[in-house]
Amino acid sequence: MLKFFGKSEKKGEIRIIEKIRKSSELEQICGDKDVYESLMHTMFLDPRKIEVPVKEAAENAKRFEKEKNPIRARMWYDIAGGLAIYEGNAKGVVEFFSESQRISGRDYLILKTAEKSVAAAQEFYKKYLKD
């Protein structure tokens, strides 16, 4: 019997093929779709590889903003925000991603879920980043 796109040659018979998607570890830790979505676009999986401290990243962002280079300023604010997530600093997360949003006009869901997102990220880092 020949099959195309889940249909067989038998008249009236349609096979439904269901694909089961396994959730990631981060999704399981987050539990909340908004928290997961906000972290998926902002957190670093291994921030230890970034050799710039959060303070320097923020200074770079401000410098590029003064130089009227919004693309590089936004990039550095995003880096500072990602490092603030790693440090567990929800206030810094809001500060840096608010600046990035202001410059770029891009909406950052993490601004609405900062506390929960930082807590979930900390749990993820504690579980997966071992020195």
Sketch the domain layout of the chain as residue ranges. 48-131
Residues 6+ apart with CB under 8 A from 113: 32, 34, 35, 38
Give the DSSP H/E element, type plus range, for residue 3: strand 3-4
Reading phi first (left if > 0) and then psi (alpha if -120 to 50, else beta), residue 68 is in left
| Alpha-carbon span 84 to 78, nearest angstrom | 10
What's the pLDDT score for residue 114? 97
Lowest mean pLDDT among 41-50, 81-90, 93-102: 41-50
- CB-CB contact of 37 with 73 (8 Å): no
Average pLDDT over residues 27-51: 92
Neighbour-count burial of 4, counting CB atoms closer than 10 A to its CB (0-12 exposed, 13-18 middle, 19+ buried): exposed
Mean pLDDT on 99-122: 96
